[in-house]
Structure 1
Amino acid sequence: MKRTIIISLFIFSIEWVHAQFAENHAIYLSQELNFGNYIGLNADLNYVYNERFSLKIGYNGNIRKPKSQPEDYSSGLIKVMILGLENPYDQIENYQIAFGKIDRLNKSGTIRINFLVGIGYTIIREPENWQKIDDGSFFFENYTWNYKRNNAASLIINPKIEFPFTSVFGLTVSPMLEINKYRVYYGVGIGTMLGLLRKRKTKPN
């Protein structure tokens, strides 16, 4: 009997803490596909306080066809067969932290804008030193090359449009601008949100 009471109290306390936490706090993950001057992926851990203020810790990774690539470059049949995973790409990665303010666009809170501004650490890798291979064949690429790497701090501007349809699932459209001394990334991410997104509606007695 005592054990049953203790277990019941423990479960009740967890539910109470969860309910109290959900009153003013939200934590969720967002994952997006990016389309812009590069293409790639975005993943964020988001925290929202009182449905007004937000914090994001995220990763953004993107690629594009190299701007420096020779016109007659060929990856060869071997690389085509492995879906071009070893092909040279201009790459840009960003680890970022941003703070924001949330404004509801409708009364129910299912449409809102999360205007985030922050800083990021950007890693840029781009192929250079292209050297043509005289004996290149149909099966292998006809150039050698190596990556040049640059690191920089970036300014992040990321006004997310969020659609938390339920308290645990939603969609997001996420324009983003990353500015640093080497490159500017601009694009739009489209994806999902999973977690504790907003306050749960309580049924009237």
Structure 2
Amino acid sequence: MKVILLLLFCISVNSVNAQFDENNSIYYSTELSLGNYIGLDLNMNYVYKDKYSFKIGYSGNIRKPKSQPEDYTSGLTGLFLLGLANPYDQLENYQIGMGNIINLNSSKTIRLNLLAGLGYTIIREPENWVRNNDAFLAENYNWNYHKHTTVSFIINPKIEFPISRIYGFTISPMLQINKDNLYFGVGIGNMIGLLKSRRN
């Protein structure tokens, strides 16, 4: 009896997997982005019937602070830490998006994924710069971060190159608009997972 149940379970799992594989794609993408910030974009992507797309993701970006005094230096300590302790304007986004897939060639190895959505945005910016005249090895200013949150509208069309069923790469311009800030940039990255349904 246990053997029969095990066989039925295996058959049903394979059947569900085959049905899922027929109309659905699910994959992970990572991108390095350059623009008015530099950063990293991580996403989980889902495509239904090679037409409709959905993503949930996270992006983290930094840049030299706009408020930073011209004579700021991180000192020798900053040199040894390779700038990791330096202050940065930071922009983080937890985002969801929906879109449409348009295949650009007959072999479906180049496609346009027209994504747009919303993001929960966390902005951290250094402020209250106070000169530290006693600093020798450390930075010559003391400062602290101001943190606030907002909602962003995100436009993120992607050109995707699924060169096989499990691996591809992507080029993706992105625009994030909110009441406090504007991010624009272009990401270059890769895609790993089930990139194409069995219909392709």
Does the TM-score normalized on the shorter chain lie above 0.5? yes
Aligned position for 2:116: 117
1:172 aligns with 170
Question: Structure 1: which 5+ residue stretches go unaligned?
Answer: none
1:83 corresponds to: 82
Question: 1:173 aligns to what SS in structure 2?
Answer: strand
Quote the Cα distance in structure 1 between the aligned partners of 2:107 and 2:10. 30
**Aligned equivalent of 1:56:** 55
For residues 195 and 56 of structure 1, do their structure 2 counterparts lie closer, same or farther at Cα, with a shift above 3 Å needed? same
User: Shift of residue 109 of structure 1?
Assistant: 1.1
Give the match's secondary structure for 1:35: strand
1:106 & 1:126 partners in 2: Cα distance?
44
Q: 1:163 aligns with which of 161, 164, 170?
A: 161
1:170 Cα deviation after fit: 0.8
**Count of aligned pairs between the two proteins:** 200
Deviation at 1:13, TM superposition (A): 3.3
* Cα separation, 2, equivalents of 1:169 and 1:55: 18
What CA distance in whole angstroms lies between the structure 2 residues aligned with 1:13 and 1:127? 56
Which SS does the other structure have where 2:129 is aligned?
strand
The offset of 1:19, in angstroms, is: 1.6
TM-score, normalised on structure 1?
A: 0.92
For residue 134 of structure 1, what is the aligned residue in structure 2?
133
**Distance in 2 (alpha carbons) for counterparts of 1:5 and 1:163:** 43
Alignment of 1:163-202 (within 5 A): 163-200=161-198
Q: What is the SS of the residue equivalent to 1:178?
A: strand
For the pair 1:97 / 2:85, whether they are aligned, the reply is no
Q: Residue type of the partner of 1:175?
A: P
1:129-182 Cα deviation digits (max 9, x unpaired): 110011111x11100001111211111000011111111111011110000011
CA–CA distance in structure 2, aligned partners of residues 121 and 141 of structure 1: 32
SS of residue in 2 equivalent to 1:18: helix
TM-score (norm 2): 0.94
Q: Percent identity?
A: 59
Task: Map 1:19-58 onto structure 2 (within 5 A).
Answer: 19-58=18-57
Structure 2: gaps of 5 or more residues: none
